[in-house]
Amino acid sequence: MQAIELTKLYYSIGEVADIFGVAPSLIRYWEAEFPSLRPAKNNRGERKYTQKDIETIKSIYHLLKEKGFTIEGAKKELDTQKNQAKEQSAIIKKLKDLRKNILNLRTELDKN
């Protein structure tokens, strides 16, 4: 896989396949297997991949080609990563709320 420098808003399937050094048919197969990979299509039905789509493909590529996961194993790992990200976001939100409450309490105590 070559280094990715994304400069455009949309990429064709051929460009994405070239970035990862795989056949376009493999990208289409991954679309069928991974629900998180759903590129937009134009009026002619051509796939248009965004930077987010390419990041998803990068994750899939890493798990399948570099780490040797099976398709099912990669699906489970992506779900696990997604759930961990949600949990981390929830924790960060709680910590920010706690900080806000502490600062409000501090302000109230400084008034007295």
Q: All domains of the chain, ordered by start, with CATH?
A: 13-111 (1.10.1660.10)
What is the spatial distance between Cα 38 and Cα 54, in angstroms, rounded to a whole number? 11
What is the spatial distance between Cα 54 and Cα 58, in angstroms, rounded to a whole number? 6
Binning pLDDT at 50, 70 and 90, where does residue 7 land? confident
pLDDT per residue as tens digits for the range 56-110 = 999 999 999 999 999 999 999 999 998 999 999 999 999 999 999 999 999 999 8
Long-range Cβ contacts of 10-15 (<8 Å, 24+ apart): 10/40, 10/48, 10/49, 10/50, 11/48, 11/49, 11/50, 11/54, 12/46, 12/47, 12/48, 12/49, 13/46, 13/47, 13/49, 15/49
CB-CB contact of 19 with 1 (8 Å): yes
pTM confidence score: 0.74
